[in-house]
Amino acid sequence: MSSLALNIPQRGPTRSAYHVAVIDILSGLLAFNIWGRLGWRDTKRRYRRTVLGPIWATVSVALFVLTLGLLWSNLWNRDPKVYLPYLTSGMLCWTLISSVCTDGSYSYFVNEKLIKQLRISYTLIACAAVWRNVIVFLHNISIYVLVCIYAGVAVTWATLLVVPGFALLCLNAAWIAVLLGAVCARYRDLLQLVSSLLQIMLFLTPIFWSPDQLTGRTALLATYNPLYHLIAIVRDPLLGRAPAPLHWVAVVLITLAGWALTVHVMGRFRHRIVYWL
């Protein structure tokens, strides 16, 4: 499968552009031996010659969560033993999503040389960007473990749901990276737009606050926010409770719609991307 991902067949009389897009996506997702290596190498490179290595990312998230968590639980009169696990687990998921969005939108530029040498799967390149951030997420989990010990968060059967939840989150991260890479290659303005939107979404998504604090119409802010559902299916199990069925349904729909959109865009424009770089 990995050799297919490095040599995507061309369009032809018997193979439509959408067929090629699907081959790109499937072979790219399955070429884990290659994106695994590329993603891991990027992680090493980013922290080379630092003493702490990838732990630096963890340290910065830890400082952020700790200071904000203690300050805001005080301001809002919330028990830090309840607020801190909530904030930390939400923040870990948010960090993953937002860094996949930024890295994903740059991933095709960064690998321009590779794209102009090989008929490589774009999905493979996007997956390397996702994997790099999953590695950081796995490092960051250590913060959450410490917070759990401090706050006494119970480990229950529902905690196991973190596995399918996280798998779904990654599957969504992958289409986001594939899609953003393509549209950002064409419209450079989107690079800026993505980073400003992410900043706003951090505050509009229930991470610092919980959706039950909203009343009336503003509650829609949570219900119709796809990021809320994506975060909830990982955060709730981490907090030891099963996510509401609504979240699962929403995430499955988001996954299907996202990949459908990605297949559509890649089908129409995959062959143009290299001209845009």
Partner 1 sequence: MAEIVLKDVVAEFPVYGTQLSLRNALFHRVVGGVLRRQSDAGQRLVVRALDKVSLTINHGDQVGIIGHNGAGKSTMLRVFAGIYEPSAGAISIEGRVSPLFNTSPGLDPDDTGYENIVTCGLLLGMSRAEIERKLPEIEAFSELSDYLALPARTYSSGMLVRLGFAIATSIDPEILLLDEELGAGDSRFAMHAAKRVKALIDRSSIMVLASHSAELIGQMCNRAILLDHGRVAADGPAKDVLELYSRMNKDELPAAAPSSAEHEGPSQAASAAAAVV
Residues that bind partner 1 (CB under 8 A): 2-3, 6-8, 10-12, 33-34, 37-38, 41, 44-45, 48, 113-120, 187-190, 271, 274-276
The label of the residue with tokens 């499955």 reads 252
Contacts with 53 (C-beta within 8 Å, 6 or more apart), sequence order:
44, 47
Kindly tell me which of 6 and 26 has the beta carbon lying closer to partner 1.
6
Contact 38, 31 (CB under 8 A): no
Min dist. Cβ of residue 165 to partner 1 (A): 31
Distance CA 93, CA 251 (A): 14
CB-based contacts of 131, cutoff 8 Å, min separation 6: 35, 36, 38, 39, 40
Residue 274 Cβ vs partner 1, minimum distance, rounded to whole Å:
6
DSSP 180-217: HHHHHHH-THHHHHHHHHHHHHHHHSTTSS-GGG--GG
Comparing CB distances to partner 1, the nearer of 6 and 151 is 6
Closest to partner 1 by CB, 77 or 117: 117
DSSP letters for 25-94:
HHHHHH-HHHHHHHHHHHHHHHTTT-SSTTHHHHHHHHHHHHHHHHHHHHHTT--HHHHHHHHHHHHHHH
> How far apart (Å, rounded) are the C-alpha atoms in residues 236 and 131?
23
Q: What is the largest CA-CA distance in the chain?
A: 67
Of 62, 81, 80, give the one whose Cα is nearest residue 72: 80
CB of 258 to partner 1, least distance (A): 21
Q: Give the residue with the Cβ less far from partner 1, 116 or 264.
A: 116
Q: Which is nearer to partner 1, 56 or 208 (CB)?
A: 56
Which residues sit opposite 7 in a β-bridge? Answer: 119
> Least distance to partner 1 from the beta carbon of 35, Å?
10
Q: Are 164 and 255 contacting, i.e. CB atoms less than 8 angstroms apart?
A: no
Amino acid 103 reads D
Of residues 163 and 277, the one with the C-beta less far from partner 1: 277
* Nearest distance from C-beta of residue 40 to partner 1, angstroms: 10
Retrieve residue 19's tokens.
């067929």
Choice between 110 and 171, CB closer to partner 1: 110
Name the residue nearer to partner 1 (CB basis): 11 or 78: 11
